[in-house]
Copies of this chain bind each other. A is one copy, B any other.
Amino acid sequence: MKNIIVGQSGGPTAVINSSVVGVYEAAKELGSTHIYGMVHGIEGFLKGEYIDLKDVLDEEKVELLKRTPSAYLGSCRYKLPPFEKDREVYEKIFSKLDELEIEYFFYIGGNDSMDTIKMLSDYAKENGKSQRFIGIPKTIDNDLPITDHCPGYGSAVKYIATSLKEIIRDNESFGVEKPTVCIVEIMGRHAGWLTAGAALAKGEDCCGVDAIYLPEEVFDIDEFKARVKHLAETKSSVVIAVSEGITTADGKFVCEIGAENAPVDAFGHKQLSGCGKTLADIIHNEFGLKTRAIEFSTLQRAATHLASLTDINEAIEVGKLAVKAADEGKTGMMITILRDNNYGIYDIHDIANVEKKIPTEWIDSENKQMKNEYIEYARPLIKGELLPIFKDGVVCHLIRK
């Protein structure tokens, strides 16, 4: 018996499916009769939407699943109400779990999803329910506390660093008389972990990005303009990485600067560009320089063709360890990753809804670069590759039929 269920929640990553693989393989080893997968997380489960992974996966499909981005099972952004306020939804979930004879419940996600594990395990404890609930970390944002880093982050950074190298190469193809300023906007509203990853583009064969602007520091538009002007006077190519979340001293997002004079579209609606485009426009208009704004958008979390093998292996491992922990009697906890290839487990109450930022001592504020401490932290996370499977010239994925 020992039926289990696993769900995926929140924003997708390049390796969130590898954690499903880990849960699936460990549960199979455990002898689970059914290995259920919630379709669209807890939200779909509440509507009775689930599949049995034993019906759809085999060895070959597991290999494809590791190479498939986004949530194979479907994701959701559903927040459970406090059970003091709404017991009904909890009764529904637990009656479903009872009905399917599910003993262990796994949820792969970030801060919000860990809140779901916290609520469900608290409810089970208070109501004498026997099911166990374990959280499996996942977020490209890398902002979960306690764990050294999060599955999903390494692959996103590998994509960011590689793509930036290609952008830098492209940007420097014309000569010094015509410098091009390229502003690359990277995800991360509150924490700059992803944008910091731009630092890894630098190497023997690449000068790297010329500056990195993180949301951890106040954005000073005058400093930015002076820096770019100086760079464009001395280099043929200027490439700058900015976090979508950079804010000025008065607490405004940079993408709102351009909107101050209320630009509206043909329908009278306010048009908000990203901060990269806003900054590129400012540089072009003030200095007459050729500019380009690039946003990695969802590609930075979906480019499994360029995933980090380290990241994939860790995502599988935290899935396996979650099953092991539940089977050892643990509940209301999340698997964590430690430095040096070790893993741990931690009370979910200290994790849910807490956000981890980049240590300020890792930021070289003066030169707008990351210090070696960050490079040493991040470099191991992007190492290794899992070759994609190609058919007819494009990568293959596994999809739910």
Contacts and interface: CB of A to CB of B under 8 A. Distances in A.
B292 A265 contact: no
Contact of A265 (B12, B162, B285, B398): B285
Interface string A380-401: 0111110100111111111100
A392 to B, nearest CB: 6
Interface in A270-314: 271, 273, 277-278, 281-282, 285-286, 292, 294-295, 297-299, 301-306, 308
B263 A201 contact: no
Contacts of A392: 200, 203, 379, 382-383
A294 B305 contact: no
A227 B224 CA distance: 43
A274 to B, nearest CB: 9
A55 to B, nearest CB: 18
Contacts of A271: 258, 263, 271, 273, 281
Contacts of A294: 295, 297-299
Interface stretch (A92-100, A103-111, A165-173): A165-173
Interface stretch (A63-71, A116-124, A323-331): A63-71
Nearest to A175: B40
A203 B394 contact: yes
B76 A174 contact: yes
Contact of A299 (B161, B163, B261, B381): B163
Nearest to A390: B385
A265 B269 contact: no
A396 B385 CA distance: 14
Given A175-B44, A392-B379, A170 B295 contact: no
Contacts of A384: 393
Contacts of A74: 173-175
A251 interface: no
Contacts of A393: 158, 161, 200, 308, 379, 381-384
15 contacts: A12-B169, A69-B170, A76-B175, A161-B393, A162-B395, A169-B399, A171-B298, A205-B396, A206-B397, A260-B266, A263-B271, A269-B281, A273-B277, A294-B299, A382-B392
Interface of A: 12, 40, 43-44, 68-71, 74-77, 158, 161-163, 165-167, 169-175, 182, 200-201, 203, 205-206, 257-258, 260-261, 263-269, 271, 273, 277-278, 281-282, 285-286, 292, 294-295, 297-299, 301-306, 308, 379, 381-385, 387, 390-399
Which 5 pairs from chain A and chain B are nearest by CB?
A: A263-B263, A382-B393, A166-B302, A170-B302, A70-B169
